[in-house]
């Protein structure tokens, strides 16, 4: 899939979604559950789709939230449900539909005190804070398609552990929701919005104030203020805008929000690599605006619309690749530059497609490394129990413990990861790109590449079934294959593809859980030319597998 000539440039009117048509289709279009693309499908982070494609409409939301209510009843979850939404156009009507169904079931619903937007980590934080002391367990819903294009909508369920729901939970909700769709929404309990919003079971909760007031328990904000750092922030039109303004005011930081626009077309976000609008704070194309301002700040940061991802920009390096910043964050938290967080026995969590530099960092810090399949849900239990100090994904999503231990959020938190970049700059007098050079000078410098290519449903299924016998006895770019994985080494769960590892390199191939593409991830510690050999051999293996689809 080639790079668009318009990548990094602002969209034109023809690129913008027709918001009235999008909202009309949400209400009017009825999905056909006999069409696979129009059924409820939970990927690694909830159900996503577009009303214009018949994959995210009112019927989907009624069915999904009805299924969540039935799940709560079956598992005796009797506390309040915390609900948030981001700034996508479809998030508002989907949020209202969700509240209508929740009120229909008599669920105590915690909505934003000011009817504002709510980041994913603020919902996770709220669930954990409630469940630390209350008898009746709380859970949550976040209405967001994350960084997906403006025409998309999404919803994800967070059970009482505060993190993304696990596979068994999402499979249960998916089956129930599709059965409800097939039945024509029979049995769905719903109260119309104008009555629902005033129901006695709907309560206002200060997500922003609670989260921001607690932040100093996760990040050294006094140190950041004392260093007088100039911090730039681009919320990319998302739900973190009010949070960053409140953080700057409460902690008296020299922090400038460079973009305060909220617009459901996201017309101010530069086009991504494929010429589409995508609010991906790990993309150098979508982040072109903030990168262009980098010399004004000691460090600059951004979040995607629900603020579960982070992007970090430094004056010299521009946007740090996610793997670079995750490595620096772990090195900082676990003491490779100096003092470590006081987390005795806490390990490092990473997904199978995240840099192997983290393996070397964990070893240097004397910490256990836990490698899991793609999906932040695999880190939830470890963070909750304090067995993991950090969990992170190659896609720029991570979270870590409170400064003195204990879970902060069990979902990805782009706000604390962004603030951590300022903390380490203040603490060590070097920005994250300079600290990365220190790390790689000691542990080796990897080069990483990810490729996406179109794939049919049959091809994706064939890739997911790919077995280790395909590469048994082979070499990887001139080195003996050390291990072939179809299950993650950390928890034995299927990775939905294959990972091939040698002494100095690795690649993984897996189908996307939400798009009609497959992905190849590859990394080498022997330089760019060696990486290209690894990529070529990975592509050949995938072509061989797909030819039998």
Give 477-500 pLDDT, tens digit per residue. Answer: 999 999 999 999 999 999 989 999
Walk me through the domains of the chain, giving residue ranges and CATH numbers.
17-209 (3.40.120.10), 447-546 (3.30.310.50)
**DSSP label at residue 44:** B
Q: What is the 3-state secondary structure (H, E, C) of 321-380?
A: CHHHHHHHHHHHHCCCCCCCCCCCCCEEEEECCCCCHHHHHHHHCCCCEEEECCCHHHHH
Lowest-confidence region among 159-163, 204-208, 442-446, 492-496: 492-496
Identify the pLDDT of residue 549.
Answer: 57
CA-CA distance, 251 to 231, in Å (whole number)?
Answer: 13
Q: What is the 3-state secondary structure (H, E, C) of 394-422?
A: CCCEEEECCCCCCCCCCCCCHHHHHHHHH
Q: Which token pair is 323?
A: 């793997």
Identify the pLDDT of residue 338.
Answer: 95
**DSSP label at residue 272:** -
Identify the pLDDT of residue 49.
Answer: 97
Reported as half-sphere exposure (CB side, CA atoms, 13 A), residue 167 has a value of 10
Identify the pLDDT of residue 410.
Answer: 98
CA-CA distance, 439 to 262, in Å (whole number)?
Answer: 38
Per the CB < 8 A criterion, the answer to whether 130 and 211 are in contact is: no
Identify the pLDDT of residue 514.
Answer: 61
What does the pLDDT average to over 168-178?
97
- Other Cβ atoms closer than 10 A to 202: 17
Angle (deg, nearest 10), helices 357-364 and 322-333: 10
Q: What is the pLDDT of residues 504-514, one digit of tens each?
A: 999 999 887 66
Q: Residue 196: is its pLDDT beyond 60? A: yes
What does the pLDDT average to over 295-306?
98
Q: Which token pair is 250?
A: 């409460």
Reference 356, options 382, 330, 338, 380; nearest CA is 330
Per the CB < 8 A criterion, the answer to whether 123 and 207 are in contact is: yes
Q: Residue 20: is its pLDDT beyond 90? A: yes
What does the pLDDT average to over 206-212?
98
Residue for token pair 């629902």: 196
The reply to whether 146 belongs to the active site is: yes
Identify the pLDDT of residue 534.
Answer: 96
Reported as half-sphere exposure (CB side, CA atoms, 13 A), residue 342 has a value of 4
Identify the pLDDT of residue 462.
Answer: 79
What does the pLDDT average to over 346-374?
98
Strands (DSSP E) found in 410-493: 447-454, 475-476, 479-480, 483-487
What does the pLDDT average to over 220-235?
98
DSSP strand pairing (388-393 vs 397-400): antiparallel
Per the CB < 8 A criterion, the answer to whether 114 and 174 are in contact is: no
Identify the pLDDT of residue 472.
Answer: 57
DSSP 56-87: SSHHHHHHHHHHHHHHHHHTT--S-EEEEE-S
Identify the pLDDT of residue 458.
Answer: 81
* % of the chain at pLDDT higher than 90: 90
Angle value at C-alpha 238, between 61 and 50, nearest 5 degrees: 35
Q: What is the pLDDT of residues 105-150, one digit of tens each?
A: 999 999 999 999 999 999 999 999 999 988 899 999 999 999 999 9
Reference 80, options 8, 154, 140; nearest CA is 140
* % of the chain at pLDDT higher than 70: 98
Identify the pLDDT of residue 547.
Answer: 77
3-state SS assignment for residue 509? strand
Identify the pLDDT of residue 349.
Answer: 98
- Greater model confidence, 283 or 515: 283
Return mean pLDDT, the chain: 95
Q: What is the pLDDT of residues 48-103, one digit of tens each?
A: 999 999 999 999 999 999 999 999 999 999 999 999 999 999 999 999 999 999 99
Q: Which of 45, 55, 91, 146 is catalytic?
A: 146
């Amino acid at each position: 899939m080639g790079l668009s000539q318009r990548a990094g440039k602002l969209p034109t009117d023809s690129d913008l979604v027709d918001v009235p048509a999008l909202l009309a289709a949400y209400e009017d279009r009825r999905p056909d559950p006999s069409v696979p693309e129009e059924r409820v499908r939970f990927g690694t982070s909830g159900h996503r789709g577009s009303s214009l494609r018949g994959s995210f409409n009112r019927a989907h939301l009624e069915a999904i939230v009805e299924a969540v209510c039935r799940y709560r009843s079956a598992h005796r979850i009797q506390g309040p449900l915390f609900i948030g939404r981001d700034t996508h156009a479809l998030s508002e009507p989907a949020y209202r539909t969700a509240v209508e169904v929740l009120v229909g079931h008599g669920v105590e619903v915690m909505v934003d005190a000011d009817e504002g937007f709510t980041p994913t980590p603020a919902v996770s934080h709220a669930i954990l804070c409630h469940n630390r002391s209350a008898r009746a367990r709380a859970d949550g819903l976040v209405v967001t398609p994350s960084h997906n294009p403006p025409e998309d909508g999404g919803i994800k369920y967070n059970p009482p552990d505060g993190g993304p729901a696990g596979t068994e939970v999402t499979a249960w909700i998916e089956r129930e929701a599709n059965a409800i769709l097939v039945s024509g929404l029979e049995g769905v309990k719903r109260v119309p919005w104008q009555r629902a919003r005033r129901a006695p079971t709907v309560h206002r909760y200060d997500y922003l104030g609670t989260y921001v007031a607690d932040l100093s328990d996760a990040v050294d904000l006094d140190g950041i203020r004392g260093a007088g750092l100039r911090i730039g922030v681009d919320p990319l039109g998302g739900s973190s805008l009010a949070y960053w303004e409140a953080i700057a005011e409460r902690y008296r930081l020299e922090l400038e929000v460079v973009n305060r626009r909220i617009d459901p077309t996201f017309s101010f976000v530069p086009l991504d690599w494929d010429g589409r609008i995508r609010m991906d704070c790990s993309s150098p194309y979508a982040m072109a605006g903030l990168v262009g301002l980098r010399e004004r700040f000691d460090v600059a940061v951004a979040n995607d619309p629900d603020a579960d991802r982070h992007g970090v920009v430094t004056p010299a390096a521009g946007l740090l690749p996610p793997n670079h910043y995750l490595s620096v964050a772990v090195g900082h938290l676990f003491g490779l530059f100096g003092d470590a967080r006081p987390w005795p026995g806490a390990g490092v969590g990473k997904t199978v497609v995240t840099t192997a530099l983290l393996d070397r960092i964990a070893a240097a810090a004397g910490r256990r490394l836990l490698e899991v399949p793609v999906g932040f849900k695999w880190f939830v239990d470890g963070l909750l129990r304090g067995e993991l100090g950090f969990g992170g994904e190659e896609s720029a999503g991570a979270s870590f413990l409170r400064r003195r231990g204990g879970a902060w959020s069990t979902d990805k938190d782009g706000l604390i990861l962004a603030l951590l970049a300022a903390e380490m700059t203040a603490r060590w007098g070097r920005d994250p790109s300079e600290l990365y050079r220190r790390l790689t000078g000691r542990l080796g410098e990897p080069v990483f590449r990810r490729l996406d290519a179109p794939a049919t449903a049959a091809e994706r299924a064939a890739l997911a079934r790919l077995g280790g016998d395909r590469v048994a006895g082979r070499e990887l770019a001139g080195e003996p294959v050390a291990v072939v994985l179809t299950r993650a080494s950390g928890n034995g769960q299927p990775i939905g593809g294959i990972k091939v590892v040698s002494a100095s390199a690795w690649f993984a191939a897996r189908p996307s859980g939400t798009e009609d593409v497959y992905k190849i991830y590859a990394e080498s510690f022997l330089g760019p030319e060696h990486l290209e050999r690894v990529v070529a051999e990975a592509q050949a293996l995938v072509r061989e597998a797909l030819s039998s689809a």
